[in-house]
């Protein structure tokens, strides 16, 4: 699939003796909402980390929009257009809500260190522009009223949303969400589903969702890939996956997360 | 309102202070008599403020715990002394057409040389230290500080263990105050810019910062370099104030002195460390008669502070509060 | 050739001392994941304990064989240091168990300074003479080799102590608990390991070894002062990192390697073109190199951070 936005071919990674991911073939098209599921320890977060440059594959290739990104550092990959959120929320705890978003604008900042020291007209304009855009983003997600509060004071759900806003500030074309429904109750999950779909449409993104909650995954994903023990065992539409015997077997006897 | 503004207010501040405290209608370029006790304390205060603010860039704002700051101060001190003392006569000769401005020009050159040499040292230290975390980084920076000290100790042109004496007394309160204001302004405004928020992001969560497109390596190296630059300026000021520098004066204990200021003031708070630097200079003076008690008190301050209030006096919270488990 | 062997023996005895101190660092790091900056000062206090103990028991043991007195002084100093180490842990480090490692490091720096300057207050800044516990005489070996009996004693006794340590760690329940705690503190606690007791024991053991190092160092160099622990402490830490922090055999290996390397650099300084004044820089250069190229140490395995 040469017109795929994200293209993983034969990706394998070993940690010492442990084969965490093996021979993974996986693609995402622009504007697709794809889900990645699998039992605990299947390697979902490892795949995430491979795509975002935290890990380097032992073998195989990862291409984003035609460019190889395997082995690049995380910030270089983000610059290419891939952004992510984290399973355990990783906000910048000492900063305000607004500043959390501002930091993510650094990527597209024209002026750097020198500009910040000399503070000319161009710098002033850029600062104002960044602030305005950050507030705009926050407003879309309903967080502009708390912009100056420390991000630690936000509720869990709001923090998750802030993480998404921050990721969006890097102007990605592919957004990776790592278990965004973790810790949410049924109502919050419904909100989340709407939020993800809204984000995808509003910003024209491809989204890769790693999630345990079947309702969320089945509810919004256009396509789902299932991995077990580091290998892809199935791929298809939610309906196909629901009926796939291999998938059922992989989950058989395992507690799939309930609604709260 | 950047560096040009900073220069401007620093110049004004320096001139005003100079006039107020030395009472001449124009800034005098000589250090006041050594029995002008208060003046000396104020100069030391200014130097300590610059040291604290500069270390804060690395330790406080960027969260990279450096224990070798005295090394950068040493580089600045010795490099600037090389200009004024070792090459001073010939350079002054070169500059003589400038008349009265010759000496200040020489001093400015010496200061710049001191700052830039220290910045280069900061670059050299920063680069290998990058991939190290927490306590390892601390020990390595300590090691670098020691290496710098040993190298100076073994270099006869720099006076070796006997040190360099006769460094011309160019430092005045005006210069010190001006540069202190400059440092505070530059660091303070740098950190508040969007670019500057990147430092804090690196401190709070390096992995998340990288994921948001921030080149953490570049930021850490920049922090070290900027911190070292100002430490070098402080060292240069110090050398031209005291007149006699030895490698022992820039040892680990000196680094600890600055670290205490930064911790007391709250890592990451420019205002806090400034106040702490001033307070500790005063404390040092009060305890001057009893050098051993001074260190005992410092040590107790550190121990008690870590248990009771790790965020310092006016602290930003930063890295010193307990964090939730689970990856953050 | 003789010259080389001589230097190696010098290096070995110095290395033995580094190894003893390094073990304390590595044990505490293994169990608590923090660098006990004050460890070098326990080394110093061990030496001073030896001095004071000797002065105290000398009049009580007139006529006793030197060896017996030496052993009493050694074990006495080790005991005092063990208690000191445990007390320091309880007072200064225990309240910070849950805090970030950097906080404790700063506290450790504070404790280190406190010990040094309290020492200066009590003992004075000038070096004190350390008594000769073992009569130094030169032992002629094969081929004209000359070994100082003190050096030989140091190496032999260190070896015995290391064997004793190995026995404790490998064959006793406490040792098992220490190993469990260093591998997985949560699981160890869940399995009924009394974390506090094990930590105290670890500190006590490490401090005792450092004190032994202090007595040996004092016997070799015959003068002690409150700041004698600063450089050996830092170098021993480098040794621990060199061998692989958290790994006991690594600390021993690192200590010996560092001692030998440092001695060789000084001994052959004219040949190498490195002035002997750079002796102290050797350790720090090694530190930087090892952290750049093999941060897990010679015997260590690299770990990845889980995201």
Question: Which of A15, A45, A86 is opposite residue C304, by nearest beta carbon?
Answer: A15
Q: Is C307 on the interface with A (CB under 8 A)?
A: yes
Contact A169 B2 (CB under 8 A): no
Across the interface, whether the CB atoms of C307 and A15 are under 8 A apart is answered no
Cα(B128)–Cα(B122) distance, integer angstroms: 11
Task: Mutation target for A interface from B61, B193, B220: give the one with most A CBs within 10 A.
Answer: B193
Q: Which helix (H) or strand (E) holds B20?
A: helix B3-22
The answer, for C126 touching chain B at a CB cutoff of 8 Å, is no
Q: Tell me the pLDDT tens digit for each residue of C143-188.
A: 667 778 888 888 999 999 999 999 998 999 888 888 888 888 888 8
What average pLDDT does the segment C32-37 reach? Answer: 88
Question: The dihedral of CA B15, B19, B22, B26: what is its sign?
Answer: positive
Q: Report the chain A residue with the minimal C-alpha distance to residue B61.
A: A94
Q: Does B204 touch chain A (CB under 8 A)?
A: yes
**pLDDT value of residue B46:** 94
Q: C304 touching A, CB under 8 A?
A: yes
Whether A86 and chain C come into contact, CB under 8 Å, resolves to: yes
Neighbors of chain B with 3 or more C-beta pairs under 8 Å? A, C
User: Is B151 touching C (CB cutoff 8 A)?
Assistant: yes
Greater pLDDT, C65 or B250: B250
Does any CB of chain C come closer than 8 Å to the CB of residue A45? yes
Size of interface A-B (CB pairs under 8 A): 126
* C241 closest CA partner among C221, C258, C224, C218: C258
Q: How far is A8 from chain C (nearest CA, A)?
A: 21
Instruction: Read off the DSSP letter of residue B156.
Output: G
Per the CB < 8 A criterion, the answer to whether B185 and B99 are in contact is no
For an interface test with C, which of A17, A46, A54 has the most C Cβ atoms less than 10 Å from its Cβ?
A54
B-contacting residues in C 223-262 (Cβ below 8 Å)? 230, 234, 237-238, 241
A partners (3+ CB pairs within 8 A) are B, C
The residue of chain C nearest to residue A87, with distances taken between CA atoms, is: C307
Contact at CB, C103 and B295, closer than 8 angstroms: no
Q: What tens digit of pLDDT does each residue of B170-194 get?
A: 888 888 999 999 999 999 889 999 9
Calculate how close chain B gets to A32, using CA atoms only, in Å.
22
Banded model confidence at residue B324, pLDDT cuts 50, 70, 90: very low
- pLDDT, tens only, A54-112: 888 888 899 998 888 888 899 999 999 999 999 889 999 999 999 999 999 998 888 78
Buried/exposed code over B237-272 (b: 16+ C-beta within 10 A; e: otherwise): bbbbbbbebbbebbbbebbbbbbbbbbbbbbbbbeb
B265 contacts B278 by C-beta, under 8 angstroms: no
At B314 the pLDDT is 57
Chain segment C204-229, per-residue pLDDT in tens? 999 999 999 999 999 998 899 999 99
- How near does any CA of chain C get to the CA of B242, in Å? 25
Q: Is the pLDDT assigned to residue B323 strictly greater than 80?
A: no
Residue A78's pLDDT is 93
C302 vs A: CB within 8 A: no
CB distance from B188 to chain C under 8 Å? no
User: What residue ranges of chain A have pLDDT lower than 70?
Assistant: 1-2, 252-260
List C-alpha distances in Å: B195 to A43, A144, A163, B58, B131.
Answer: 35, 21, 19, 15, 22
ipTM: 0.87
Let me know: does B14 contact B181? Beta carbons within 8 Å.
yes
Higher pLDDT, C151 or B227: B227
Closest-CA residue of A relative to C302 is: A16
- Assess C113–B contact: CB distance below 8 Å, yes or no: yes
Q: How is residue A128 written in tokens?
A: 């104002």
Q: Is the pLDDT of residue B34 over 70?
A: no
User: Hey, is the C-beta of B124 within 8 angstroms of any chain C C-beta?
Assistant: no
% of chain B at pLDDT higher than 90 = 42
**Is C307–A49 a contact, with Cβ atoms under 8 angstroms apart?**
yes
Q: Among B60, B207, B211, B318, which would you mutate to test the A interface (most chain A Cβ atoms within 10 Å of its Cβ)?
A: B211
Interface contact B136-C292, CB threshold 8 A: no
- Of the candidates A92, A107, A167, the beta carbon closest to that of B204 is on A92
| pLDDT value, residue A257 | 53
User: In chain C, which residues have their Cβ closer than 8 Å to the Cβ of B204?
Assistant: none
Please give the pLDDT value at position A243. Answer: 87
C169/C31 Cα distance (integer angstroms): 13
CA separation (Å) from A96 to B187, B201, C224?
20, 11, 54
Contact B139 C35 (CB under 8 A): yes
Q: What angle do CA B133, B136, B139 make, to 5 degrees?
A: 140
How close is the nearest chain B Cα to the Cα of C119, in Å? 10
Residue in B with minimal Cα distance to C112: B299
Residue in chain A nearest C305 by alpha carbon: A54
Residue C88 in contact with residue C111, Cβ under 8 Å?
A: yes
> What pLDDT is recorded for position B327?
33
Chains that touch C (3 or more CB pairs under 8 A): A, B
Residue B328 CA to residue C89 CA, distance in Å, equals 27
Nearest 10 degrees: Cα torsion A157, A159, A160, A162: 130
Shortest Cα–Cα distance, A35 to chain C (Å): 20
Determine whether the interchain pair B323/C100 forms a contact, defined as Cβ–Cβ distance below 8 Å.
Answer: yes
Residues 6+ apart with CB under 8 A from A209: A33, A34, A35, A36, A177, A180, A196, A216, A217, A220, A221
């Amino acid at each position: 699939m040469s017109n795929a936005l994200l293209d993983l071919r034969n990706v394998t990674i070993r940690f010492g003796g442990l084969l965490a991911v093996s021979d993974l073939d996986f693609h995402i098209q622009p504007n697709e909402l794809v889900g990645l599921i699998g039992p605990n320890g299947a390697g979902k977060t490892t795949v995430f980390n491979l795509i975002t440059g935290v890990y380097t594959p032992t073998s195989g290739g990862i291409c984003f929009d035609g460019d190889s990104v395997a082995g690049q550092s995380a910030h270089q990959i983000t610059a290419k257009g891939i952004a992510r959120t984290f399973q355990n929320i990783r906000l910048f705890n000492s900063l305000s809500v607004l500043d959390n978003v501002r930091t993510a604008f650094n990527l597209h900042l024209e002026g750097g260190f020198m500009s910040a020291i000399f503070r000319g007209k161009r710098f002033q304009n850029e600062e104002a522009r960044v602030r305005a855009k950050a507030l705009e983003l926050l407003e879309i997600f309903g967080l502009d009223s708390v912009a100056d509060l420390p991000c630690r004071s936000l509720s869990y759900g709001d923090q998750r949303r802030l993480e998404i806003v921050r990721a969006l500030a890097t102007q990605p074309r592919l957004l990776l969400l790592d278990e965004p429904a973790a810790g949410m109750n049924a109502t919050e999950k419904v909100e989340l589903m709407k939020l993800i779909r809204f984000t995808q449409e509003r910003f024209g993104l491809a989204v890769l969702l790693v999630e345990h909650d079947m309702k969320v995954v089945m509810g919004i994903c256009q396509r789902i890939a299932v991995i077990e023990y580091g290998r892809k065992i199935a791929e298809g539409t939610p309906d196909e996956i629901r009926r796939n015997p291999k998938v059922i077997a992989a989950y058989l006897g395992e507690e799939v997360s309930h609604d709260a | 309102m950047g560096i040009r503004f900073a220069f401007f207010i620093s110049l004004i501040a320096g001139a005003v202070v100079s006039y107020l405290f030395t009472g001449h209608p124009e800034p005098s370029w000589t250090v006041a008599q050594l029995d002008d006790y208060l003046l000396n304390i104020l100069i030391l205060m200014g130097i300590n403020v610059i040291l604290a603010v500069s270390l804060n860039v690395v330790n406080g704002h960027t969260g990279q715990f450096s224990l070798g700051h005295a090394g950068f101060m040493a580089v600045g001190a010795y490099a600037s002394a090389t200009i004024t003392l070792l090459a001073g006569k010939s350079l002054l000769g070169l500059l003589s057409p400038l008349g009265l401005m010759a000496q200040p020009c020489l001093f400015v050159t010496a200061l710049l040389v001191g700052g830039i040499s220290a910045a280069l040292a900061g670059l050299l230290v920063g680069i290998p230290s990058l991939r190290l975390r927490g306590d390892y980084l601390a020990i390595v920076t300590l090691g670098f500080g020691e290496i710098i000290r040993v190298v100076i100790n073994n270099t006869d042109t720099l006076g070796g263990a006997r040190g360099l004496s006769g460094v011309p007394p160019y430092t005045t309160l005006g210069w010190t105050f001006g540069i202190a204001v400059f440092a505070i302004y530059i660091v303070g405004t740098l950190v508040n810019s969007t670019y500057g928020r990147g430092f804090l992001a690196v401190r709070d969560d390096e992995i998340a910062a990288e994921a948001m497109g921030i080149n953490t390596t570049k930021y850490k190296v920049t922090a070290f370099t900027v911190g070292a630059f100002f430490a070098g300026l402080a060292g240069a000021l110090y050398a031209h104030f005291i007149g006699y520098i030895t490698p022992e004066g820039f040892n680990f204990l000196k680094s600890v002195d600055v670290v205490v200021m930064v911790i007391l003031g709250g890592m990451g708070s420019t205002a806090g460390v400034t106040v702490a630097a001033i307070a500790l200079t005063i404390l040092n003076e009060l305890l001057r008669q009893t050098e051993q008690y001074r260190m005992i008190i410092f040590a107790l301050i550190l121990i008690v502070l870590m248990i009771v209030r790790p965020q310092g006096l006016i602290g930003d919270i930063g890295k010193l509060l307990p964090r939730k488990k689970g990856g953050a | 050739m003789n010259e080389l062997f001589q230097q190696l023996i010098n290096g070995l005895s110095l290395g033995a001392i580094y190894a003893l101190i390094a073990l304390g660092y590595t044990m505490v790091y293994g169990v608590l994941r923090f660098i006990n900056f004050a460890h070098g000062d326990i080394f110093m206090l061990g030496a001073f304990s030896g001095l004071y103990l000797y002065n105290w028991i000398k009049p009580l043991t007139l006529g006793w064989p030197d060896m017996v007195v030496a052993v009493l002084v050694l074990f006495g100093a080790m005991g005092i240091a063990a208690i000191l180490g445990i007390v320091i842990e309880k007072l200064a480090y225990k309240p910070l168990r849950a805090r970030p490692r950097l906080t404790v490091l700063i506290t450790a720096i504070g404790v280190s300074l406190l010990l040094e300057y309290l020492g200066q207050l009590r003992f004075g800044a000038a070096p004190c003479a350390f008594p000769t516990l073992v009569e130094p005489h030169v032992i002629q070996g094969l081929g004209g080799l000359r070994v100082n009996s003190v050096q030989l004693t140091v190496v032999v006794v260190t070896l015995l102590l290391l064997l004793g340590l190995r026995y404790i760690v490998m064959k006793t329940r406490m040792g098992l608990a220490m190993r469990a705690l260093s591998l997985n503190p949560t699981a160890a606690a869940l399995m009924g390991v009394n974390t506090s007791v094990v930590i105290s024991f670890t500190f006590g053991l490490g401090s005792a070894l450092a004190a032994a190092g202090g007595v040996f160092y004092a016997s070799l160099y015959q003068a002690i002062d409150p700041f004698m622990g600063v450089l050996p402490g830092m170098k021993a830490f480098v040794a621990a990192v060199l061998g692989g922090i958290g790994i006991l055999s690594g600390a021993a290996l690192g200590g010996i390697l560092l001692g030998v390397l440092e001695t060789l650099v000084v001994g052959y300084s004219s040949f190498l073109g490195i002035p002997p004044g750079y002796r102290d820089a050797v350790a720090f250069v090694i530190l930087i190199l090892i952290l750049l190229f093999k941060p897990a140490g010679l015997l260590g395995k690299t770990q990845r951070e889980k995201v």
